[in-house]
Amino acid sequence: MTATHRPRRRLHAALTAALAFAISACSGDKYPNTIFERHTEFNREVLSIFNTMFFWSALVFVLVEVALLWVLWRYRRREGQPEPKHVHGHTTLEIVWTLIPAVILIFLAVPTVRAIFRTQAKAVPNALQVQVIGHQWWWEFRYPQYGVITANELYLPIGRTVNFELKTADVIHSFWIPRLGGKRDLVSNHTNYLWFTPDSADETAWNGSCNEYCGASHANMRFRAFTVTPAQFEEWTAHQKTPAAFGAVAPATPGQPATQPATTQSATTQTATTQTATTQSTTPVTAASFTGWPADRMPAYTEPTKPIPAGISFNAQPGDPARGQQIYSRSACIGCHMISGNPMSMGQIGPNLTHVGSRLTIGAGLYPNDDQHLALWIKNTRAMKPGSIMPTLGKGEYDPILATTVTSGLTDQEIADIVAYLRALK
């Protein structure tokens, strides 16, 4: 073993030197979705293989192209040159250049096989479990150990292994946070796993995306991941577990699945029962200090830049959250969305909105979560996000999928009220 270690170490030193420039050039400051970062053991495995691959590929590339250029220059046709000698082959040479690639491949194959088994081993038992459920075109994240359900924004404690359980509600999607690891497909009727430990990550935000073409808004199926301190993570989960912040009705009786959707799931998870038991009280927990990533600390690369599509406008007085809650609770919204604490809102199809006001983006990372975008979103989602399954709700709006104009929808003022309500759900 020692005999093999030294050349390998030397090789790695050489590689590091050779790639230092490339990798530093591809750092996260300038390239916020680069794969060349080492914040997780997953990416360190991949990067080590990539470096080996890149080294050999670059070597072969340079040798081949230099040989080619030299041959082209040396044997270009010249005036008065006799016809070249006809050489039909050279067995030894051909054996040599069959064997050399074969030997190089061994250098690639050995670390590859090792990394396959390392990255696909079972996650450590005390890992944070996150269920990732892909939907056209948004992400549902469930923390069964904490009884938390959220959408499109993923919170990960620094230093703790996270084990993603990947499923899909419809077509195939693919889960990817380039700077942390991945990707892994979400395949119907299959459950896939992916784990890594953001052990050397800063407290920051990361972009994630769907990478398997999944229909009209595949490009708009994105998410943000936040790496936070373990303490912040505990505070965040505690806050997420509370019912809706605005006008929450009395907590539902135990056993009513609507308000406690995660209870049954967390009960099945052994590792976290004690942890969750304390936080599973039915009374709202007093506001925790860390309730979500602060908007002013969003790195620029996580801020949505998509302009509002032409042709939609919104014109209303500032809304009233109480009125908004009433309108919301008798509108079509409740058929699809869940707001824990609002017994009318028990839908399972769309994203859970219990703490929607604390999220930084809407529409799976498509727009910033502000009054204007949220109002336009509710008014005509399908104009805001191509192919969206959420129907067009604004009165008089043209629904591009049904190709009809909505006659009995919400007025701008009603939408403004709903926006005020939802924005209050911090």
Partner 1 sequence: MATIAATPAHAHESHAHPTGFMSWMSTVDHKRIGTLYLFTALFFFLLGGLEAEIIRMQLQGPNGTLVSAETYNQLFTMHGTTMIFLAIMPLSAAFFNYLIPLQIGARDVAFPRLNAFSYWVYVLGGIFINLSWLLHAAPDGGWFGYAPLTTRAYSPGMNIDFWVLGLQILGVSSLAAGFNFITTIINMRAPGMNLMRMPMFTWAAFVVQFLIVLAFPVITIALVFLMFDRFFGTNFYTTAAGADPLLWQHLFWIFGHPEVYILILPAFGLVSDVLPAHTRKPIFGYPVMVFSLILIAFLGFGVWAHHMFAVGMGPIADTVFGLTTMLIAIPTGVKIFNWIATMHGGSIRFTTACLFCIALVAFFTIGGLSGVMHASPPADLQQTDTYFIVAHFHYVLFGGSMMGLFAGVYHYFPKITGRLLSERIGKWHFWLTAIGMNLTFFPMHMSGLLGMPRRIYRYDAGQGWDGFNLASSIGAYILAVGTLFLVWNIIKSLRSGTRAGNDPWGSPTLEWAIPSPPPEYNFARIPTVTSRYPLWDMKQPALTSEVPHSHRGDKEMEVAVGGKTVGHPHPGPAAQSTRVSESEMHIETETYTPAQVGIVLPDPTVKPFFVALGMVIMLGSPLFMHEAQIREIAGNAAGHRTAMTMFWIFVLGGAALMVGSLYNWLLTPLESDHH
- Residues 60-79 as x/- pattern, contact with partner 1 by CB under 8 A: xx--xx-xx--xx--xxxx-
**Which position among 9, 20, 94, 230 is part of the footprint of partner 1 (CB under 8 A)?**
94
Helix 321-329 vs helix 412-424: crossing angle, to nearest 10: 100
Q: Does 109 contact partner 1 by CB under 8 A? A: yes
Cβ proximity to partner 1: between 115 and 336 the closer is: 115
- Between CA 358 and CA 152 the distance in angstroms is 12
Residues 283-322 binding partner 1 (CB under 8 A) are: 300-301, 303-307
Q: Which of 16, 20, 97, 271 binds partner 1 (CB under 8 A)?
A: 97
* Binding flag, residue 243, partner 1 (CB under 8 A): no
Q: Which is nearer to partner 1, 68 or 249 (CB)?
A: 68
Q: Which CB atom, from 129 or from 340, has the smaller least distance to partner 1?
A: 129
User: Which of 15, 18, 171, 316: binder of partner 1 (CB under 8 A)?
Assistant: 171
Judged by CB under 8 A, does residue 12 bind partner 1?
no
Strands 361-362 and 367-368: antiparallel
Distance CA 286, CA 142 (A): 22
* Sole window of 9-17, 168-176, 236-244, 275-283 interacting with partner 1 (rule: CB under 8 A): 168-176
Among 7, 84, 294, 311, binds partner 1 (CB under 8 A): 84
Length of the chain: 426
Instruction: Please select the residue that binds partner 1; options are 15, 34, 370, 413, rule is CB under 8 A.
Output: 34
267 and 273 Cβ atoms separated by less than 8 Å = yes
- Give yes or no for a contact between 399 and 406, defined as CB atoms under 8 angstroms apart: yes
**Residue 353's closest CA among 155, 169, 150?**
150
The least distance separating partner 1 from the CB of residue 327, rounded to whole angstroms, comes to 30
Pairing of strands 128-135, 162-168: parallel
Instruction: Give the residue from 203, 181, 176, 178 showing the smallest Cα distance to 34.
Output: 178
**What Rg value do the Cα atoms of the chain yield, rounded?**
27
Per CB under 8 A, 107 contacts partner 1:
no
Strands 367-368 and 398-399: unpaired
Residues β-bridged to residue 149: 142
Rounded least distance, CB 336 to partner 1, Å: 18
Site for partner 1 in 371-410 (CB under 8 A): 386-387
51 vs 352 by CB, closer to partner 1: 51
Least Cβ distance, residue 140 to partner 1 (angstroms):
17
**For partner 1, which residue of 4, 17, 83, 317 counts as binding (CB under 8 A)?**
83
Range 118-157, binding partner 1 (CB under 8 A): 119-120, 136
Distance separating alpha carbons of residues 131 and 166, to the nearest angstrom: 6
Neighbours of 65 (CB within 10 A): 10
Query: Would you count residue 232 as binding partner 1 (CB under 8 A)?
Result: no
For strand 148-151 and strand 192-196, is the pairing parallel, antiparallel, or unpaired?
Answer: unpaired
- The residue from 123, 132, 149, 214 that contacts partner 1 (CB under 8 A) is 214
